[in-house]
Amino acid sequence: MKKVVVKLDLHDDKAKQKAMKSVSSLAGIDSIAMDMKEKKLTVVGDIDPVHVVSKLRKTWHTEILTVGPAKEPEKKKMKGRRKTKGKKKITRRKMMIRKKMRMNKLLSLSSSTKDTIPT
């Protein structure tokens, strides 16, 4: 998986659509995103950056900004979930201990009041 960021010389939405359409015809693309403010096209997938740029250079002036591995945010999410689960187990355990202590206290109070009440 590679992430290729390319700067294009585009002026309107019609040109944006044409650029995205020309790149989408390549095999192995997972996602395409365009930032019109900065005029950056981001392509993610199992692709060759040279093929992406050669497709775009036929029509527009193109600059390669970055080429690198695509990040996988799933691993980070898993780590965060494990930590919160551990914290929940600790708080549940404390709650159960407190509940048992209250029950024992109530039972001891109720048994002592039965002894003192005359019948």
Quick one: DSSP state of residue 12? S
- If you average pLDDT over residues 9-25, what whole number do you get? 92
**Cα–Cα distance for residue pair 65/40, rounded to 1 Å:** 9
pLDDT digits (tens, 9 = 90+) for 73-102: 555 555 555 555 555 555 777 888 888 888
pTM (predicted TM-score)? 0.58
Classify burial at 104, counting beta carbons within 10 Å of its beta carbon; exposed 0-12, middle 13-18, buried 19 or more: exposed
